[in-house]
Every structure is written in structure tokens, then in C-alpha cells.
A and B are shown apart, each in its own frame.
Chain A
Amino acid sequence: MNRDLSLLIGILVALLAVVLLWVFHSTLALDPGQRLASLAMERLPETGVSNPVTAVLLNYRAYDTLLELGVLLAALLGIWSLGPPRPGFQRAGPALAAMVDWVVPLAILTGGYLLWVGGHAPGGAFQAGALLGAAGVIMRLAGHANAGLPSETWQRWLVVLGAGVFTLTGLLLAFTGYGFLTYPPGQAKWLILLIETAATLAIGVTLAAAYVGGRPQPTAPPPPPLVTSASAEADR
């Protein structure tokens, strides 16, 4: 980029920062208005979970979260549309391979724990999914070309699982008269756990597949038996 242009952009961004700081100090710092946190805490017991973050993500503003799963899917579909992935890394040496054998199961186990604990403490589908994704990244770094992911058909079903269960739950609730994503009293906890479990799997597979970085390749068929020139001669 041209130097003058980058200088101009720098000056403009600095001016914007000054204006924002001035606005912040002249209004908000003097009079922080009423926000939604107190209201959200007040109604927390009705949400079926005791972790306020999970309550916001999966109950108060579940619709936003559903679409964020859509955003993740769009990103992955965009990556897949750009062609096959680059070849993976070479097989890990014995030390790294031994570590991977330990770390990957641990990451999956911890992911499961985070999913469950999200109901009452920091955790939840996105954190658990990120751990699953990380397990996939480690596998690929250690030389597993497809990051330990199943076949393309399975990957496709798994990446839509989160948004799929979410939407179907929402529509089912709408058809049974509660309203889209309005959990019936007392059922919220189990419905949230169901949605979060599906979302965890979907997020984990999506992140790992995004790291692989291309449309899943069919697992290579076993190489055709070698026809040596000698045996070809013999056939004649």
C-alpha cells in the first residue's frame, strides 16, 4: 500500500478513537444507564440453567445463537467450495505420537465435562466444541490427513447437526403452541442440554474440518494390484 494512504488512514482512525473516547467520557462515564444484566439475573431461575452466560446464549437470545451456528456453517461451506485441502503434515515421530495419544482423548473428555458444567458454571457448547476442534487440529498436526474426522457423508451430517436440532426444536415448540424457541416450563434444562450436545459436536467437527481447509476427500481406495511387465508378458 501507498505510504501516504496508510498515513491518512492512520490519522483518520486516530481521530475516530479521539471522538469515541470523548463521547464515552462525556456521556457514559458520567451516567451509566440501566442495562439488562439485573433483569437477566432476576429471571435466571426460570431459564433452567444457573449460569447466566448459558441462559443468555441458549434461552434469552437463543435465536442469535442459532444463527451464529449458521455463520459457522457458512464459513465452512465457503472453505469447502474453494477446492481440496493441501496435503497434511508428515507422520509424527514417536515422542509426539505418544503425546497425541494422551492429549486427544483428554481433550475430548474435557470437552464433555465443559458441555455438562456449562449449565451452572463457565463452559458450554462453544467452549466444548472448541476443545473438540483443537483435538482435531492436534491430530492433523501429528500427520492424520483428515484430522481424525469421519467420511464426507458423516462430516456433512455432523456439521449441520447443531443448527438442525436447534431449528427443529424451535419449530416443534412453535407447532405445539409454545412459540418458536419458547421452552415449556420445566423442560428448559433438558432441551438446552440436547441442543448444546448437538451444537458441541457440530462446532467441533466444523472447526476441525475448517482447519483441514478443503472439501473432504474420499478416503483413498486401496491401490490397484501392480501389474508388472513380467506378469503381463506371462498373460500373453
Chain B
Amino acid sequence: MTTDSLILPIALPLLGALLATALPRIAPLLGVLTAALTAMSGLWLTGLVWVSGDLSIVLGGWGLPLGIGLSADGLSAALLAMSSLVGLGISVYALGYFSGSERGLHFWPLWLLLWTALNGVFLAADLFNLYVMLELLGLSAAALGALTGSRDAVSANLRYLLVGLLGSITYLLGVALIYTAYGTLDIGLLSERVEPSALVSTSLVLMTAGLALKAALFPLHFWLPPAHANAPAPVSAALSALVVKAAFYLILRLWTDLFATITDAGAAFILGALGAGAILWGSWRALRAERLKLLAAYSTVAQIGYLFLFFPLLQALPPGPARDDLFAACVLMAVTHGFAKAGFFLAAGLVQKKAGHDRIDELGGAAQSMPATTFSIALAGSALIGLPPSGSFIAKWVLMQSALETGQWWWLIVIALGTLLAAAYIFRVLSRAFGQEPTPQCFITDARAEIPALLLALASVALLGLAAGPIWSLLGFEGVQI
């Protein structure tokens, strides 16, 4: 019966989406209720994995390889916990953000479908099922991104939709090759069967390329900044914090699980080099951005780059505690970015609503009159830079340590430059918040909208930084060794 709960984080938001479609008048109420239930089921599952280890189930009673498997290990559970908490925060925020507007009517069912697909990706154990999930994810994400209805938003998200389709078709081509050769789609069975061959390498390249397009890995990131910057704030938060993570998660899963015996140092170096390009280019463009949400979107490009720096190092380290630490640091980095970027986008949305625009140079007054929101931006910003005690500080520390240990010192330069640039673009925003105007008396001006942003930003710094240990134990590793 416990394994049956694997389906809940997928079935609950799906049912919620259906009800919110059928009953548009009470969609916000249904949406928040569903969000609470979905988050609870996700956290419950994370707890189960923590207590009793990996869970898996094959749906339909046919067993493998005929049926479709679902499974949750530490990696899935960590990302599921992220999507649960961030999703709940976004839902509570959206309740205030969309209240009384026509757009809210369309937001709820699409958002719950997006959440279904996200949890579905994290729990899937079947390559074709992952394709279906990616389609649902891409379609609902593009529809949500275009919700503002502005010309820019619609054209950016139409491009996002087409790029996403190209990505999933490329992925599907890889899946088709590997299925024809090995006759199963289950990741567990395949990882036992694959042997190095031209076909398997081609399949790995196709799947990785398709997913890299969806994860916006430099130089395939061109679609991300306009799509994320023009969406409504809760949607930007979901797209930047969660949706790109789904594609990244899948690449990590393929490289460390399914194709662990196939990957080699050269291929991993290419991923690392693209990641380095993403860090430098994304951070530079974020520094030059004139609008707050565009800054946040380019910062996502850079942060995705850090996640890909882990690949050459994971490839170089032999299995053992050092590699375990690095793997956990990679997960910690992804989860911290999820919280920080969601908090940042939600807070940026409040500033934009208050000021009526989001041009950074003219934000002084609005930012200063909302202390809690500015504080959220500062907290999230410190996690994006990687200041202690945030989760990304620990992650970057382990990353740099591993780079030294494996003799790949050149990544250190990239990390240092990226961190400096990140500090520059965050402080550029914060410096606007200290003007001459009298400081307002009250810290929180709009509780329902400000508290989710503040809590998410706080989690990225305090929860994941000071209490990073649980990630290690969730993944089944020994403690942090710094």
C-alpha cells in the first residue's frame, strides 16, 4: 500500500486540474486546496524514501517490461520535496496575485497540469512515459507563459513551445533507438543491459541534446530570457525554478544512472564547457539587463551552467565518499536555486506590481516602501551569489574542492568569475533600495503575497544552508565532509 502513494503526487494535481477546469468559478479555492494536498503527498513520499529507502511500483499489474514503472530514490525525493514546497509557495502567492482577474481563471488548471507533469518526471522510471510527461510539461508551461496576453509574451512563448517540441522530438529519437536495440523502456532494466556501442552513444547524444535544449544550456538558452521575463510573476517563478530543473534532472539521471557505463571524460568535458559558457554569458547579460525580471531570467541561464559543471567532475571521481559528496552538492545546488529563484521572481513581481514597471534604475522608491520584499530579494540574491550560509555556498565549496582534487583547476576560474559577476548584478539591484526617502514603519505590507516569497528565499539560505545534512541522508550518503 505504501508504494501506491507513489501515484498521489501525480494523480492529485491532475484531479485538481480537471475540477478547476470544470468549475472555473471556484478554481482559486480548488487550486489552493489541491496545492496543499499535492505538497503534503510529495513531502509524505519524501519522508517515506527517507525512512524506508527507494520505492518503486509497476502500474497495471503486468510487471516489467510490459507495464510502466514509477520509482522514487533519494534524487527523485529531493526534487519532489523542492517541487512540493516551491509549488505550494507559488500557489499561495498566485491566490493574491490573480485575485479577481480573468487570467486567474486560466492559470489554475494549467498550473496544476504543469505540477502533475513535474512530479511525473521526477517519479517516472520509463523512458517513453518521460516523453509524455515532457510534452505535458512543455505545453502547459508555454500556455502559462503567454497568460499576460501581450504581444511579446505570446511570441516568446510560441518560440518556447516550438523549441520545446524540437527538444522532446530529439529526445524521443534517442528513446526509439535504444528501445529498438534493447526492447525495453524501463530505466532500471536498460541500465543493466546497455553496452558501449555506436547506437547507444548516438542515443545518449540525441537524448542529452534534446534535454539540454529544454534545460536552456548555453548556447541553447536563447529562448529562455524572453519567455521567462514576460510571463506573470508566479509563472516565471515556476518556469525558472522548477521546469528547467526537470530537464536537468533527467540529464543527470541519464548520465549517472542509465548510461553510467557509456559516458566518458570527453563528453562530460563538453557539458562542463557549455556550463562554463552559460555561467559567464548568463551572468554578464544579467549584469547588463535593464529590467529586473530579465536579470532574473539571465541569472537562471548562469545557474543552470553551474549545474553542468558537476558533470566532468562526477565523471573524473571514482565511486566513493568524495563522489557522493559531489553528487549531493549537485542536488543541493539545484534545490537551492529552485527556492532562491522562485523567491526572487515572486518578490520581483511584487515590486513590478507596486511600481508599475520593472526597470531597475527607477525602482528605488517602490523597493524601499516594501521592506519585506526587498529583504526577500536580498536573501534570494545571497543564495544566487553563493554567500554563506546558503545551500549554494556549500555546493560551490564542494564543487571547488572536487575541481582541485581532480586537477581540473580551470573550473575554479569560471566559478570565481561567475560568483563575482553574480555579486555585481545582485548588489546593483539592492543598491537602488537605499535612497533618501524615509523608511516605512511596517515590515510587511501585503502578507499573503510577501510571506511566500520571503519564506522561499529564507529556505534557500537558512534551511538548505544550515541544514544541508538531510539531503545527504536522503541520498543515502554519509555526512558532509568539508
Residue B413 at the chain A interface, CB threshold 8 Å: no
- Complex-state Cα separation, A78 to B136, whole angstroms: 12
Are B61's CB and A27's CB within 8 A? no
How far apart are B427's CB and chain A's nearest CB, in angstroms? Answer: 38
Residue A62 at the chain B interface, CB threshold 8 Å: yes
- Complex-state Cα separation, A35 to B182, whole angstroms: 7
- Complex-state Cα separation, A213 to B367, whole angstroms: 41
**Nearest B residue to A75, CB-CB:** B139
Residue B109 at the chain A interface, CB threshold 8 Å: yes
- Choice from B14, B149, B181 contacting A167 with Cβ under 8 Å: B14
With contacts A67-B120, A67-B133, A81-B143 taken as known, whether A182 is within 8 angstroms of B60 at the C-beta atoms is: yes
Residue A83 at the chain B interface, CB threshold 8 Å: yes
Residue A70 at the chain B interface, CB threshold 8 Å: yes
- Please report which residues of chain B, range 124-178, place their CB below 8 angstroms from some CB of chain A when the two chains form the complex: 128-129, 132-133, 135-136, 139-140, 142-143, 146-147, 149, 154, 173, 177
Are A35's CB and B179's CB within 8 A? yes
- Please report which residues of chain B, range 234-280, place their CB below 8 angstroms from some CB of chain A when the two chains form the complex: none
Are A39's CB and B182's CB within 8 A? no
Are A19's CB and B202's CB within 8 A? yes
Are A28's CB and B181's CB within 8 A? yes
- Complex-state Cα separation, A83 to B153, whole angstroms: 14
Are B128's CB and A81's CB within 8 A? no
How far apart are A206's CB and chain B's nearest CB, in angstroms? Answer: 11
Tell me the total A-B contact number using a CB cutoff of 8 A.
159
With contacts A77-B143, A81-B110 taken as known, whether A68 is within 8 angstroms of B132 at the C-beta atoms is: yes
Residue B78 at the chain A interface, CB threshold 8 Å: no
Residue A211 at the chain B interface, CB threshold 8 Å: no
Are A160's CB and B22's CB within 8 A? yes
- Choice from B103, B177, B184 contacting A23 with Cβ under 8 Å: B177
Which of the listed residues A22, A43, A181 has the most CB atoms from chain B within 10 Å of its own CB? A181
What 1/0 flags go to B185-209 for Cβ under 8 Å of A?
A: 0000000000001110010000000
Chain A residues with a Cβ under 8 A of chain B: 19-20, 22-23, 26-28, 32-36, 39-40, 43, 59-64, 66-68, 70-71, 73-75, 77-78, 80-83, 156-157, 159-160, 163-164, 167-168, 170-171, 174, 177-183
Q: Add 9 more A-B contacts to A77-B106, A183-B60 (CB < 8 A).
A: A36-B184, A60-B60, A60-B66, A64-B128, A73-B21, A74-B136, A77-B109, A163-B14, A179-B59
19 residue pairs A–B, Cβ–Cβ below 8 Å: A23-B202, A28-B180, A33-B181, A33-B182, A39-B66, A61-B68, A64-B129, A67-B116, A73-B21, A73-B113, A74-B140, A82-B149, A82-B154, A163-B14, A170-B11, A171-B15, A180-B7, A182-B60, A182-B61
